Structure 1
Amino acid sequence: MKTRKVGVVGLGHVGAHVAYSLAVQGIADELVLVDQNKQKLASEAQDLRDAAAYLPHRVTVCAGEFADLNDCDVMVNCVGKIDLLRGNHNRLTEMDYTIPAVRGYMEQIKSSGFDGVVVNITNPCDIVTRELALGLGLPKGRVFGTGTGLDTARLISALARQTGVDHKSITCYMMGEHGNDQFAPWSCVSFRGMPLDKWAETDGRFRFDREALQKESIGGGWVTFAGKFCTEYGIATTAARMVSIVLHDEKAIMPASAELTGEYGESGLFVGVPCVIGKNGVELVVELPLTEEEKAKFHACCEGVRKNMEHLKDIP
């Protein structure tokens, strides 16, 4: 049986929790951890090895270098400096740090011979994911980001609380930029096949302030950040789920930051859209039947991402 090998680059709050989630859930058989802070790297590797002793499955943990990523099936990019977000609610603040950081080690990843799938967490997610895709030169779809995946989970959770319906019975997505301008296409929300609008005709639980619920879902990350100055569990679980989907070739539909090449009438950028994910990464972008108003919102999000991409020209 083939060993499932996953690399995690960047062992801050999120990266460490991604590695822990992959180990505890039995998603990876072997973990390769990479970080420029060698003491932090050694400490996280030791802590994970200690935890592995009592797990019901086997997992090996290696404190490695970029060269050790060469035969990994999946690499999760988690490098960031979340302290930059103190005092503001704009993920773009991180760009001046994360873009040079990613550019600084992309060639090392490429030189290692890595030929797997990359899941990017680093913010601004849509822009960094595109940077990785361009720099690594892997086939289309092999590099994608968590994007609006966690925001979608928040929306599902909020809908479950609002309606009393189990979260596994709800289908919905957050789309567009992984940031304050993302939106929920309400026309595509359903509960085991029954559209939200249909439920609302006869059941008061489904008649609620949609804008307020959307705002709650977008702002949830800042609620988490406000009390602990980081986000960990939600995004780590989102990334771990994506890695599992790739490793098991599930062909599962999940929102991700994916490259658009004509879908929704857009191209040349990465944004949050529902995707079929499998062993080759994003294998298909799912085009939802958006209303005209929702299409306009999506295009506005894309224009916003393009505007933010202009800042790349000013980063050395």
Structure 2
Amino acid sequence: MTLSDVATVVGRIRGAVQGVIEGKGDVVKVAIATLLAQGHLLIEDVPGVGKTMLAKALARSLDCSVSRIQFTPDLLPSDITGVSVYDQERREFEFKPGAIFANIVVGDEINRASPKTQSALLECMEEQQVTVDGRSWQLETPFMVIATQNPIEMDGTYPLPEAQRDRFMAQVSMGYPAAEAELAMLDSHSAASPLDDLAAVADASEVAALTEAVRSVHVSPEVKRYVVDLVTATRTSPELRLGASPRASLQLVRMARAWAALDFRDFVLPDDIQALAVPVLAHRLLPTAEAQMARRSSDRIVAELVARVPLPAGR
């Protein structure tokens, strides 16, 4: 698949999702780039701003298997991964797949489940497989988890473990819509949900071809060095007690490839890294107690590091 083919298919997906999500083109672009980079997306914001709507719109725009998990305090890990059930007639255990066995898995309010249940996703998201009772089952390709969560100050929520957050390639916040977008939403959403009329515009094979095409986008040694310098800066910052992992470096490069492809380029620019630094890195970092008391968010710290780390020479 060529970049022109990528532009055609992505244009259909973007048009379908933006027909449901009003005035959030930048958030939709991050979501599609995460899909093309074979990553997982975390959407965090206050209730009612369209987190679940975005996840459902992206899932329904693709003609592939989709499952939805409503995370609650009583949800069990086996509800996600599956369970072995004893068959009386055959006198053997039979595996019953859980909700994770789908191309697109929408996890609604993921931080309302206990950390034990949240951790059931660790192997699935990193290795694309499920292990139950000593046996492993491979998950379908493509595979993407789109999870929503409310800010951790909200009642009845558990903060995601650091290992869980690190497996999400990007995190976005919806934010409140602009006045004009909200006015358009009142016209299009008040009578019926636009999700009802949303038809699939791409299938699993096209998504697989898109991800394969994205891998061919060129990343120069200078841009790779810039990524390493930026990630290293998070590990040495006095305002952070946990910096970005090597997984973060790898996922930032993969995301930048997809971002360049969405802009119809076959090479990555330092500008792509700068645009993606906050959504890819910030949710993985832990500010120090002093930074938290000064109300210094991870987003703001990363943005300032981006402004300080020198750009590659010869840009």
TM-score normalised per structure 2: 0.27
RCO greater where, 1 or 2, for CA within 8 Å and sep 6 or more? 2
Q: For the pair shown, which has the larger CA radius of gyration, 1 or 2? A: 2
